Amino acid sequence: MDKYVRICPYCGGTETIEVYQTYYGAVASVENKLHGADLYHTVCRKCGSVLRSYVKDPEKLLKKKDRRTDY
Ligand SMILES: [Zn+2]
């Protein structure tokens, strides 16, 4: 579980499962096709709705020169 508390808007469930998608489901930057990022999903345990989709390290989708280095 991460720090975000969420309630499923579809069934009201509060239990979620974090899943992770790669290979064909991976998202790749339009600008930088060599750097794909695995896509993570938060899925409602009760009804299976995907509540959130996110990439762990979005900076990796940018070209090296465009990445933020100030944090
Ligand atoms: Zn649900």
Given a cut of 90, is residue 15 above it in pLDDT?
Answer: yes
- What is the rounded CA–CA span in Å between residue 43 and residue 20? 10
Q: Are 30 and 68 in contact (CB under 8 A)?
A: no
AA identity, residue 51? L
- Tell me the CA–centroid distance for residue 10 and ligand 1, in Å: 5
Q: How far is the CA of 65 from the centre of ligand 1 (A)?
A: 41
Task: Decide if 3 is inside a domain.
Answer: no
Q: Please report whether residue 45 resides in a domain.
A: yes
**Domain housing 30:** 16-63
Q: Write down the pTM of the prediction.
A: 0.67
Give the total number of structural domains in the chain: 1
In the structure, ligand 1 is a single-atom ion and the residues with CB under 5 Å from it are 8, 10-11, 13, 44, 46-47, 49
For 35-64, the pLDDT digits (tens) are 778 888 999 999 999 999 998 888 887 888
- The mean pLDDT value for 2-30 works out to 78
Q: Closest by alpha carbon to 42, among 55, 26, 57, 58? A: 55
User: Is residue 1 one of the residues assigned to a domain?
Assistant: no
Q: What is the pLDDT of residues 22-37, one digit of tens each?
A: 766 666 666 766 677 8
The per-residue pLDDT for 1 is 46
For the CA atoms of 33, 60, 57, 70, what is the dihedral angle to 10 degrees? -160
Structural domain includes residue 5 = no
